[in-house]
Chains A and B, each alone.
Chain A
Amino acid sequence: MSVSDGTVIRPYGDTTGDGMVQTSFTLPVPPGPRAEGAALQLANKMGIEPAMVVHSHGIGEQFTFFVVYGSVRHLVDLDAVHVEERAYPLLSPGEVNAAIKTRLRRSLVVLGACIGTDAHTVGIDAILNLKGFAGEKGLEYYREMQVANLGAQVSVPELVHAARARRADAVLVSQVVTQKDAHLRNTRELAGAFREAMGEERPLLVVGGPRFDPAMAAELGVDKVFGRGTTPGEVASYLVAALVPAEEPA
């Protein structure tokens, strides 16, 4: 493996292989030459060498903000990069409806909520509301889906109860607030409560939010985790892949 075969790369400024990066940070030191020296030391320890402090200014008397440019020593090995590729085909709303109608032969029941103290319904609304997100209509638009959005600050027991009462096929939960990892704690609580209350009969559990790592589903005890920028179409396609039989029933 060598740089020339293209699987090992470096950041690109204006010349292949120059390794140039730009970063900014604040240090709790008063502005001045000593502060710039401190910034250079940090940059070097970050692997930026040589580093240039191209800008600094004081924030109040006790802090200094820096913009640093420089070349990193590190190499990126593309062969060692592993990402979760989408394991299901992306379907149009028409295809989603057709799949549910012909292969499930009943409405797909979807329940959505924000749990815990999180009052930010932006995420779940973007996925469920008719209005949708990023130019795609939300799940309410899908004729073959029966969608209920329980809104904000729904308790986990309430959600379990509603899922049972409505015979939900899937429960979608969005989490925006991440202070003190509330999103992770809430998700584990959610998974635990459904496991305890319904065991194997539990609905598909899907969580999403801007600070979730999609690779964490198993660790959190849910079926699927969606990260930043997820669109309603992706969620709908996933629901079909996970819940609708591959073939028409005989």
Chain B
Amino acid sequence: MSVLELDGELVRRARELAARAAAPVVDLARTHTTVSVERAVLRLAGLTGTDPVLGDGEVPWVNRVVDAVREQVGLEHGVALPVWHALRDGGDLHGLAEQVGAGTARFSIPADPEPARMAARAAVATGMARIDANRARRDELVALHGDPPRRPWIYLIVATGDIYEDIPQAQAAARAGADVIAVIRSTGQSLLDYVPEGATRTGYAGTYATGENFRLMRAALDEVSAELGRYVRLTNYASGLCMPEIAVLAGLERLDMMLNDAMYGILFRDINPRRTFVDQRFSRMVHARAGIIINTGEDNYLTTADAVDEAHTVTVSQLLNETLAHEAGLADWQLGLGHAFEINPAVPESFRLELAHALLARGLFPDAPLKWMPPTKHMTGDVFGGYLLDGFFNLAGALTGQGILLVGMMTEAVVTPWLSDRDLALRNVRYVLEAAGNLHEDFRPQPGGFIDRRAHTVLTEAVQLLERIADHSQGLIQAIADGTFGITKRSPDGGKGLDGVARLAADAYNPALELLGGVRV
């Protein structure tokens, strides 16, 4: 559905520039690996658990094994060859991990890599088969219970820090109308270089993403899906230093959507750009395979920058996310490209500007389920004003055909949402969708009118910014270093996690990448 007449030549040029700007990033990702990518390989092969001896027993075996391989033979060959070479005389991954724990494991690169390759491929294929089975199972459950009766899907967040508190809250939210449940992660998790293990009850402002937490929540939502006759989707975050591993855990536990942005970690968390881009490509390949819808993080630009002046940076980021996602094998229906209702309500015509921006995204990405994010920056303690603003946000979502609507809370910036806040917010959404959900059928902005002109202006500014990015010799990587995104400068050699990146040697082997090569779309 596109109601704006976008300039076809400008759109074509925007996509061409985005692909050019992203090309160095793709090259980088193809020629490097990271500790987290290699740990993801071991997770796919079934290695779980933590070293009970080290620290407080929180360090996963996958970290111990990858670190040991890196110490002994380097990371540049990938871990598959040395690990499965070490298993050539039998034994399993867990036993090998315990040898690492005891300090007795010895790793080397085999002269004849073929046996280790075959064994590694077979082991990783079991994880891949589980991801495929989960995708098929999701399709079955959607066929059985049904999709939500309308668009946008209603997306609601729970975040208590305790998975056992999250579960009843998530089930209550689904019963109250939520189609998608997102479990926000504990604030510190994106900068942890390991994935915590097991069911957790002690997160800050969110609950740790762990394989077991994923499993528990998915099972709880399956239960409530059957009760409601509607498949309730589960979302988490494949971001931060462990993005590839979390993507794998999501595939293994049948999560349905993952937050996964190409640049968010770099710009907002100061994670090293190389690390991010390598991890990013691998995680997106996993999401493509798992049939997971990604949600990108463009809304974040507008929480730090002005939503009118910087509107074009959202468009640029959406185009970059799109091109990088396509390259990794994601199909359009898997691209929950983000944008947000963050214009200062005191700005004259703010609602018309919001409509223009939302329609531009809709027109540029007609087949993507856009992720529409509620106001946060201009939510104050005035909960009554906030409730009204959320109503307008909901109306804009309905009017512009958004795919996924994150429910805004009137107590944003005041408290973590109360039971009643969520209930009132859902009533707001229901009212708007029932009263005006089909208004998009009647809504055609005047050609050459305010909305049409504004969308054209933003697209033009986006193309200009893309030109500046594509003109850099290292494309996006150098552009980020130069502060082109306005928010901050991030050098390719700065930030957290660079020491976990290695350039691949000629004999490097990653069975997961090989198996992911045949991506179904």
Contacts and interface: CB of A to CB of B under 8 A. Distances in A.
Contacts of A118: 187
Nearest to A62: B172
Nearest to B240: A119
Q: Report the contact-size class of chain B (Cβ under 8 Å from the partner).
A: 20 to 34
Contact of B423 (A65, A117, A151, A210): A65
Interface in B17-63: none
Contact of B161 (A129, A179, A229): A179
Q: Report the contact-size class of chain A (Cβ under 8 Å from the partner).
A: 20 to 34
B304 interface: yes
A116 B205 CA distance: 13
B224 to A, nearest CB: 12
B270 A151 contact: yes
B188 A117 contact: yes
B475 to A, nearest CB: 24
Given A117-B204, A122-B303, A60 B420 contact: no
B413 interface: yes
B305 A131 contact: yes
A229 B378 CA distance: 11
Nearest to A154: B270
Interface in A17-33: 24-26
A179 B306 contact: no
B464 interface: no
A232 to B, nearest CB: 14
Interface string B398-431: 0000000000000001101011100110000000
Interface in A73-113: none
A24 B420 contact: yes
Given A65-B423, A179-B205, A121 B416 contact: no
Contacts of A210: 413-414
24 contacts: A26-B419, A26-B420, A59-B176, A59-B419, A60-B172, A60-B175, A63-B420, A65-B420, A117-B186, A117-B188, A119-B269, A121-B268, A122-B303, A129-B304, A131-B304, A131-B306, A152-B268, A152-B269, A153-B191, A179-B204, A179-B205, A179-B416, A210-B413, A210-B414
Given A60-B176, A122-B303, A125-B304, 14 more contacts: A26-B419, A59-B176, A65-B423, A118-B187, A119-B187, A119-B190, A120-B187, A131-B304, A151-B488, A153-B269, A177-B204, A179-B161, A179-B416, A210-B413
Interface of A: 24-26, 59-60, 63, 65, 117-122, 125, 129, 131, 151-153, 177, 179-180, 182, 210, 228-229
- Please give me the 4 A-B residue pairs with the lowest Cβ-Cβ distance, nearest first: A117-B188, A117-B187, A59-B423, A26-B420
